Structure 1
């Protein structure tokens, strides 16, 4: 009898481990350039050697973890050059995807954008008053949902996949700005309202300009 591993079960474990590591990288519990040793990670998060190694390979493909020359792993760096590079590429990817969504999106898509924007406004109001971990996580999720809603009618699974990878790479920079109280929530509110109004009006030039301003404001407000 040939024993086969339960692929579905393995995939579920890897997905859970990846979500936990993404969260801790984003919130700074795992620091930039920190070495990631299998035994230490297993003691902290669980899983087998196989599942943890596959998790690290997945996060390496997403740009959150780097494989070292000695076949080890470490958290990806988070330098000024890193944030500028992510900002540049993410802006171009999202502008391309939003332009396609404006061409192809229907009324249902507009409704999803409005709903995600409404949820984000509520989350931003809460996080502007208090920045405990739970509120910050809820805000981060609302930011993610709004960003995804804007492009989900673009019709390109590859563009969506690229946007999600870049968005995950950018999370720790946005959350660092939140912890440092460097986010201008009034300005963000105005920019996001301008963006939604332009989307609903199908004003491509205004929407793309507003999107670029919004991404810059949440990643590098000093640019």
Structure 2
């Protein structure tokens, strides 16, 4: 049982990573023989992983066609972004109200780690550096709202984060230059100052600015 669980977790982690990074393209069929060849495992853990990814809206089950990668559209993106803003604003409000010293310390540490890794990524944009940056980016945004003390909110945050990353990552280098780390610092500063109105406004603008850039990418390729 433990071995089966480990294989399923490995399949889920690897498939999820490849979908977020764009190895498997939107609406591309996910054929079992191709997945088995790439990940070196049987169909059972892969099917379980695909079912989990379907619940996260990263894959869809098509009648008579099996699993395919979920499509990317401006409508879907804005729906995810707007719901994410609503969810994280409330989680942020609760965190600012109830967060303790440990919560504040985690924000400071996560921001520092993210800024350091962003600098490394500029110097040596390797795949490993990109993976490290994405992990620290997630950790920072998670730290902001971790003080809400709601496992359901944090679970939904993870799902929405993954949905939005599929749009953000391929468009990171496009459009006008932004000082994203300055945006992160401003959000953290307002949060640590317990200024909910400012922190939530900055966070919402941070997400919307990314969505506008991604939407422009859709228009360029239309």
Q: Structure 2: any 5+ residue segments left out of the alignment?
A: 216-222
CA pair 184-138 structure 1, distance change in 2 beyond 3 A:
farther
CA distance in structure 1 between the partners assigned to 2:212 and 2:132 by the alignment: 21
Aligned to 2:183: 191
Structure-2 change in CA distance of 1:12 and 1:219 (3 Å): farther
* Equivalence for 2:219: none
User: In the aligned structure 1, how far is the partner of 2:207 from the partner of 2:40?
Assistant: 35
C-alpha change, 1:20 and 1:14, in structure 2 (3 Å) is same
Residue 110 of structure 1, CA deviation: 0.2
Task: Please tell me the root mean square deviation across aligned C-alpha atoms, in Å.
Answer: 1.7
**2: distance between equivalents of 1:109 and 1:183?**
34
- Alpha-carbon deviations, 1:113-160, whole Å to 9, x = none? 000001111122233344332222111111101011111111111110
SS where residue 152 of structure 1 aligns?
Answer: helix
Map of 1:18 onto structure 2: 12
Aligned ranges 1:26-175 → 2 under 5 Å: 26-70=20-64, 72-175=66-169
User: Cα distance, 1:190 vs. partner?
Assistant: 2.4
> Could you say if the C-alpha distance between residues 61 and 194 of structure 1 is closer, same or farther in structure 2, counting changes exceeding 3 Å?
same
Give 1:46 shift: 2.3
CA distance in 1, matches of 2:47, 2:196: 43
Give 1:14 deviation, angstroms.
1.0
Change (3 A) 1:74 1:48: same
Q: What is the TM-score when the length of structure 1 is the normalising length?
A: 0.90
CA distance in 1, matches of 2:209, 2:13: 26
- SS class of match (1:95): helix
SS in 2 for 1:41: helix
Contact 2:167 2:214 in 1 (8 A): no
- What SS class does the counterpart of residue 73 from structure 1 fall into? strand
Displacement of 1:183 in angstroms is 6.8
* Local SS of the residue matching 1:35: coil
Shift of 1:40: 1.3
Give 5+ residue unaligned stretches, structure 1: 1-5
Q: 2: distance between equivalents of 1:17 and 1:196?
A: 34
Distance in 2 (CA, whole Å) between partners of 1:91 and 1:113 is: 19
Q: How far 1:217 sits from its partner (Å)?
A: 3.4
- Cα distance in 2 for partners of 1:82, 1:132 equals 30
In 2, the alpha carbon distance for the partners of 1:72 and 1:22 equals: 17
| Preserved contact between residue 123 and residue 138 of structure 1 (Cα < 8 Å) | yes
1:3 equivalent in structure 2: none
* 3-state SS of paired residue (1:47): coil
